[in-house]
Amino acid sequence: MLKSLAVEWLPSILAANPLDLRNAVEKVVRSEIKQIHLDIMDGHFVPNISFGPQIAESMHEVYSSLFLDVHLMLARPDDFIDPFLEAGAGRIILHAELSKRIVTRSLKRLRDAACLTGLAINPETNVDVLFPYLEDWAIDRVLIMSVHPGFSGQEFITSVLPKVKMLKMRYPNVMLCMDGGINSETAAQSFDYGARALVVGASFFQGLSFEKV
């Protein structure tokens, strides 16, 4: 079973039935996974729109012990940091492809708020874009997209795996998280290359069971 792998599991609510989010979150709680991943999309940075701070706030109010891992796939994440902090985000992840001005402004706000902070890169992005931020800021983790961001259910892009290995060698103390196309096979591959956190979507909500028997 997937749950036997010694990694942090982060079910992505994007893969759940949008008309049945309450039961989807209940499934996470029953599985004894302590955190949930929220993909926030604006239709500009990625070609899809998901949901906003209100969903995060509702989850936090009802399931206060569930850690909210918020992935901002937004052209202007700096405009939404405060609303998600107020909604109960435990960690906010930004994309390193954005301009240095936007990223540094966002990182400063997160630092001032003492919020855990992550940086993400898309499959086609070179890892060296991360280096200045990893060396100058307190980054909790790096999220490597193993699909093109925007839609759940895509196939895993194996060419991103060397990025994980490279980052593991250069920054051994930074948590590395893989996001996209995770199933039993790709989870094992990601673990072998150094990922110790995995965002799991369709295989959690629509396929393999994580629930205790």
One-letter amino acid at 105 equals R
**Residue 179 among the catalytic residues:** yes
**Residue 42 among the catalytic residues:** no
**Candidates 39, 42, 69, 78; catalytic one:** 39
Q: Could you give the angle at which helices 53-62 and 21-30 cross, rounded to 10 degrees?
A: 50
Closest by alpha carbon to 203, among 64, 4, 23, 16? 16
Say how far apart CA 45 and CA 8 lie, in whole Å. 27
Q: In Å, how far from its chain's centre is CA 77?
A: 15
**Candidates 42, 69, 78, 179; catalytic one:** 179
One-letter amino acid at 184 equals S
Say how far apart CA 171 and CA 32 lie, in whole Å. 30
Active centre residues (catalytic): 39, 179
